[in-house]
Amino acid sequence: MWLERCVKIPFFCLVLICNIGIGVHNIAIGVHAASSSSQDSQPYRTGYHFQPPKNWINDPNGPMYFNGVYHLFYQYNPFGPLWGNISWGHSISHDLVNWFILQPALSPKDPYDIGGCFSGSTTILPGPTRPRPVILYTGQDVNGSQVQNIAFPKNLSDPFLKDWVKWSGNPFLTPVNDIKNDKFRDPSTAWKGPDGKWRMVIGGEINGHGTALLYHSKDGFNWTRSEKPLHYSSETSMWECPDFYPVSYVGINGLDTSFQGNNISHVLKASYNNHEYYVIGTYDPNMDQFVVITNDFKVSNTQFQYDYGRFYASKSFYDSAKQRRVAWGWVNEGDSESDAVNKGWSGLQSFPRSIWLSDTRKQLVQWPVKEIEKLRTKQVSIPNREVKGGTHVEVPGITASQADVEVSFKLTNLNGTELIDSDESDPQLLCTQKNVSVGGSFGPFGLLILTSTNMTEQTAVFFRVFKGPNKFHVLMCSDQSRSSIAPQVDKSIYGAFVDIDPLHDKITLRSLIDHSIVESFGGEGLTCITARVYPKLAINDQAKLYVFNYGTKSVTLSSLNAWSMNKAQIVPMV
């Protein structure tokens, strides 16, 4: 997909031992000058979120686990920090934390993709002797049409699958009949039905309606359109980057995309309106019918989203090694194109998240993959204590610009809670109207992140509690309105409700802080908000972290644990 959306990191002279589950490989890393990309001169470079060394990236593409190696592909411009020359960047890992960057897997060189090798997915197909992954991707052809193409590894014996070959039969699908040539893109991972045929969906717009076009294939190469789409919405326009997968009613383990059985639901995700919307429903694989059981796709911002902040074009995969479903999302910049040119890069990926179905079966839970904990270093803890209204408490002794923070609050009573007129209030509007500078009774309380010494700069991630006509509501906000003294950067305020009972449940928050990105998870992952921030004062060692309560009522800080985070190793393989 191609909404307009860059990277320079220090390189190291070292030899890493990459144990990727199929043998031990010695990999030499070249020597490169690092002066222009040091953290002092590049304060917005992240320490543990994925970014290639330089240039533009956007959508994560085709993540997979194959023969003991994790692969991440992504939209990439090899030649500059702005969108263009779109190729498939390719990186590999054995732990989803540290990455080796390979040469691009796909480049726009052929008539069917000369305008760009755009987003898509990988599917692992059975082969005559062993499984074979294939890439399904959208290309823009010489006529400007969006067409679907296939690529596969040149050598399955290569443990890293460095080289990919485009199929001689490309393009295997072109826009025909009611499909417009500019609204036909982003094929999903394919799944196999009980009849032995493969299915996939492609994002589209038919008669002005966002649509997941459904296709069938016997071999994964030759595809036929189904008479009916898997799903569509009359209330939205074009769907990008669709994803479709099963989730279990029991536990947090993920399921293979082709899994069939009892006690499961299916998730359909579509990207539009700059957000990641999803619905949960039941899928009949015999009839290829998907029936939504939650609220359906709408333009409204109040329905279920993967993330209510700056997070788009996500892609998930089934990790058979850990029996989990893992997803990434593209996190674009909130500064200008001239800033991207000066930095030499633009865009990054969210930290990979595990996804599972909540206990209520009404929504998804997302949580950073457990491997992130290997980056944790110095820990600071604050035990149970009261935080009185109108106060803030510094969290000392950690690197507050590169940290992982978990905090839990408890309310002992809710007498005097602020009232709202409707149980269907717009959380985004509430967060804007009642930002961090507007005190209430219970809230705002939470974390002040990337805060300068004089508190001129601060990113506030907080909760406040309201009472509606029929129930209490926990609002979660990420307020960037005071995040930077720089005038020309995005300072949005994001908001969403957290589906918990503040009378009985602890109100929890986890924030991953990494220089220019803050990923926050409320209610143990029920509500996620990602923000980009560009402080001028609160950078590197000058950043501070606080717990705060600016409401009039006291809240109980049940626990706080914060860790300084080591840098991930994200280096080119040579």
Give the HSE-up count for residue 201: Cα atoms under 13 Å, Cβ half-sphere: 27
Active site residue 59: yes
The DSSP-derived string for 73-98 is EEEEETT-SSS-S-EEEEEEESSSSS
Closest CA to 200 of 185, 184, 188: 188
Q: Per-residue pLDDT for 216 more than 70?
A: yes
DSSP state of 337: H
Q: Among 60-64, 380-384, 423-427, which is the least confidently predicted range?
A: 423-427
488-515: pLDDT as tens digits? 999 999 999 999 999 999 999 999 999 9
| Residue 568, φ and ψ in degrees, nearest 5 | -75, 155
Average pLDDT of the chain is 92
What's the CA gap between 19 and 94, in Å, rounded? 7
What are 102's two structure tokens? 């390979």
Amino acid at 434: K
How does residue 127 score in pLDDT terms, banded at 50, 70 and 90?
A: confident
Q: Which of 40, 59, 141, 178 is catalytic?
A: 59
Q: What CATH number matches the domain at 15-368, 3.40.250.10, 3.40.309.10, 3.20.20.370, 2.115.10.20?
A: 2.115.10.20
Q: What topology is assigned to 379-570 in CATH?
A: Jelly Rolls (2.60.120)
Is residue 113 a contact partner of residue 149, using CB atoms and an 8 Å limit? yes
pTM: 0.93
Secondary element (H or E) of residue 511? strand 507-514
Q: Which residues pair with 221 in a beta bridge?
A: none
What's the CA gap between 358 and 248, in Å, rounded? 10
What's the CA gap between 425 and 436, in Å, rounded? 18
What's the CA gap between 388 and 28, in Å, rounded? 54
What are 139's two structure tokens? 């290309």
Is residue 298 a contact partner of residue 235, using CB atoms and an 8 Å limit? yes
Q: Per-residue pLDDT for 247 more than 50?
A: yes
Closest CA to 479 of 445, 412, 432: 432
At 41 the pLDDT is: 87
Strand ranges, E, within 534-573? 544-549, 555-565, 570-572
Secondary element (H or E) of residue 340? helix 337-343
| Residue 278, φ and ψ in degrees, nearest 5 | -140, 155
The residue-averaged pLDDT of 370-389 equals 97
At 361 the pLDDT is: 95
37-59: pLDDT as tens digits? 467 789 999 999 999 999 999 99
Write the CA distances from 232 to 204, 297, 299, integer angstroms.
Answer: 9, 8, 13
Is residue 512 a contact partner of residue 528, using CB atoms and an 8 Å limit? no
Query: Which 3 state secondary structure label does DSSP give 232?
Result: strand
Domain boundaries, the chain: 15-368, 379-570
Write the CA distances from 86 to 1, 6, 150, 379, integer angstroms.
Answer: 10, 12, 16, 41
